[in-house]
Chain A
Amino acid sequence: MERGTFLYEVWVARWSLLSGFGITLSASVLTIAIATLLGLILGIGLTYGWRPLRWLIRIYVDALRGIPVLVLILFAYYGLALFKINVPPFWAGVIALAAFSIAHIAETIRGGIESLPQGQTEAAKAIGLQFHQRLAYVIIPLATRRVLPPWMNTCAEIVKNTTLLSIIGVVEFLLSNQQAIARNYLVLQFYLFAAVVYLLINFTISQLGAKLERRYAHFRY
């Protein structure tokens, strides 16, 4: 391989690119896991909670959905430091992305649950299921099928939003590409490369999602 060619430069930067890829993947997976878990809890709270609890969650969801992710990331890194809470850049990024995505997923869950016919809940009550049993055996399995497509959208958004972490110095995949560009000026080649890699990550997610959708396809009513 000749020096200055794209393949040569990718080979030279391989460890940095791989590390960036690893950071992007781990930030995405952690954010998706945290956001899904807490989003599920908040979504159920938003549907069935006491009125004050519902209001609280509603304020959280509306506020967080209304703030740009970039502002949240800057706040998690610099804003918290003003209150003497010193969070490392990676975690500041994950906290900000998760806080944002929790709001989205909570709304998705609420929408999924509320779209179920009332008859399902009534039937579950009629056979004597307690609330947690209704939730576990009836509501959540039925809602899962409806919630999966928007949930996957959110996951793909999370992966793309990790590129914003570069602003607080997290060397994720895009910044590792930019570092290579700063050395060799193969601007278009590296951005195209980054685009293909992000596409592959999100294609994998959508394939996994499609598989899950097929798996839950039998939950009909």
Chain B
Amino acid sequence: MVRRGILGLSAAGAAVGGLASAGLGLLAPTSARAQEAGTSRLQTVLERGHLIVGTGSTNPPWHFEDESGTLVGMDIDMARLLARGLFDDPEKVEFVLQGPDARIPSLITEKVDIVCQFMTVTPGRAQQADFTVPYYREGVGVMMMADGDYKTFDDLKAAGSDLTLSALQNVFIEDWAHKELPEARVDQFESPDAALQALNARRVDGYFGDQSAIRWLMQQAPDRYIDAGRGWMPNSYASAVKQGDPIWLNWVNTVYREAMLGVDFDYFAASYQKWFGITLETPKVGFPSEFA
């Protein structure tokens, strides 16, 4: 008796489960998948009618939401440039928001066609994903409170092991800090606002981060922070695609290269001006300078 009752309940459970999974099927989003063997992602994207880009939403000036709730930033401009090249319409992009640690997993699992998310090119990462040509050379620096104990880079250096820095979590970030400040302690945070708040709350002596982010932060809150005045550790930011698709990679590279040196230079230069305050020099007419 008892057993029959339980079996009945299990059957009901299975039915509920079945219904739930059927519902999930109906609600499935457009996927970056469905690429047959031998076809390039370029073809898949063109057939789908829009590009799927992995990015973040909390890191100005790279990718963040403006007051109207629209994603903006340098990475977003690069993604829209690709959409314009594909469909003649910069709006035909679907952004999949993800944390920095999701960049490679979402390429491998084909959740996205490309990642535009301030991704540093490293030999290790290049074994797992194919990088495009870089579109920015980043460097790191330290930002302190204007009214804090440390005023210059020499002060930081002299502090030795008393110095604590906050940084956005990254596998190599501690090594990078130690190149110039070998004894500093590096506290890693999961989001850039948490790393900044550590400085605001004076839990750390300095914010160790990208120079682009430091420049942006100092623009947003003038007089609140000071730059230690030293940059090091050059590193390249590029987009990445899934490995093994030379046609797609080559197409993206072509678009990026021509943005930096060719037909889309004006668009690219306007983005640089807007997000970094850097004025780019117009490429010289004549012999292609990249081969000079």
Query: Do A131 and B5 form a contact, CB below 8 Å, given A45-B10, A167-B102, A183-B67?
Result: yes
Query: Do A188 and B10 form a contact, CB below 8 Å, given A86-B28, A182-B58?
Result: no
Q: Tell me whether A78 is interfacial, beta carbon within 8 Å.
A: yes
Contact B220 A15 (CB under 8 A): no
Q: Tell me whether A187 is interfacial, beta carbon within 8 Å.
A: yes
Contact A16 B197 (CB under 8 A): no
Of the listed stretches B36-44, B157-165, B188-196, B282-290, chain A binds B188-196
A147–B27 Cα gap in the complex (Å)? Answer: 34
Of the listed stretches B12-20, B75-83, B84-92, B243-251, chain A binds B12-20
A13–B33 Cα gap in the complex (Å)? Answer: 33
Contact B5 A87 (CB under 8 A): no
* Chain B residues whose CB sits within 8 angstroms of the CB of A81 once the complex forms: 109-111
* Chain B residues whose CB sits within 8 angstroms of the CB of A182 once the complex forms: 57-60, 64-65, 192-193
* Chain A residues whose CB sits within 8 angstroms of the CB of B97 once the complex forms: 169, 171, 175
**Which residue of chain A is the closest to B110 with respect to CB atoms?**
A81
Q: Tell me whether B99 is interfacial, beta carbon within 8 Å.
A: yes
Contact A181 B67 (CB under 8 A): no
Query: Do A179 and B13 form a contact, CB below 8 Å, given A82-B109, A169-B96?
Result: no
Q: Tell me whether A123 is interfacial, beta carbon within 8 Å.
A: no
Cβ-Cβ contact count across A and B, 8 Å cutoff: 115
* Chain B residues whose CB sits within 8 angstroms of the CB of A12 once the complex forms: 67
Q: Tell me whether A124 is interfacial, beta carbon within 8 Å.
A: no
**Which residue of chain B is the closest to A174 with respect to CB atoms?**
B191
Contact B66 A183 (CB under 8 A): yes
Within 26-54 of A, Cβ neighbours of B (below 8 Å) are at 34, 37-38, 41-42, 44-45, 48-50, 53
Pick the residue among B13, B65, B197 that contacts A187 (CB under 8 A).
B197
A188–B217 Cα gap in the complex (Å)? Answer: 16
A80–B206 Cα gap in the complex (Å)? Answer: 41
Q: Tell me whether B235 is interfacial, beta carbon within 8 Å.
A: no
Contact B58 A179 (CB under 8 A): yes
* Chain A residues whose CB sits within 8 angstroms of the CB of B106 once the complex forms: 78
Contact A88 B98 (CB under 8 A): no
The interface on chain A, measured as residues whose beta carbon lies within 8 A of the other chain's beta carbons, has a size of 44
User: Which has the most chain B C-beta neighbours within 10 Å: A12, A15, A81?
Assistant: A81
Contact A188 B197 (CB under 8 A): yes
Contact with A along B231-249 (1 / 0, CB 8 A): 0000000000000000000
Q: Tell me whether B146 is interfacial, beta carbon within 8 Å.
A: no
Contact B57 A175 (CB under 8 A): yes
* Chain A residues whose CB sits within 8 angstroms of the CB of B12 once the complex forms: 41
Within 82-125 of B, Cβ neighbours of A (below 8 Å) are at 96-99, 102, 105-106, 109-111
Within 31-64 of B, Cβ neighbours of A (below 8 Å) are at 31, 33, 57-60, 64
* Chain B residues whose CB sits within 8 angstroms of the CB of A34 once the complex forms: 20
Q: Tell me whether A115 is interfacial, beta carbon within 8 Å.
A: no
Query: Do A167 and B99 form a contact, CB below 8 Å, given A82-B109, A187-B197?
Result: yes
B209 to chain A, nearest CB (A): 13
Measured CB to CB, the residues of B under 8 A from A are 1-6, 8-10, 12-13, 16-17, 20, 24, 27-29, 31, 33, 57-60, 64-67, 69, 96-99, 102, 105-106, 109-111, 191-194, 196-197, 200-201, 217, 220-221
12 further contact pairs, Cβ within 8 A, besides A48-B2, A187-B193, A191-B197: A16-B69, A49-B10, A50-B6, A78-B106, A78-B109, A86-B111, A131-B5, A167-B99, A169-B102, A178-B193, A179-B64, A185-B193
Measured CB to CB, the residues of A under 8 A from B are 12-13, 15-16, 34, 37-38, 41-42, 44-45, 48-50, 53, 78, 81-82, 84, 86-89, 91, 130-132, 135, 166-169, 171, 175, 178-183, 185, 187-188, 191
Going nearest first, the 9 A-B pairs with the smallest beta carbon separation are A81-B109, A169-B97, A131-B5, A187-B197, A182-B58, A41-B13, A181-B193, A88-B29, A182-B64
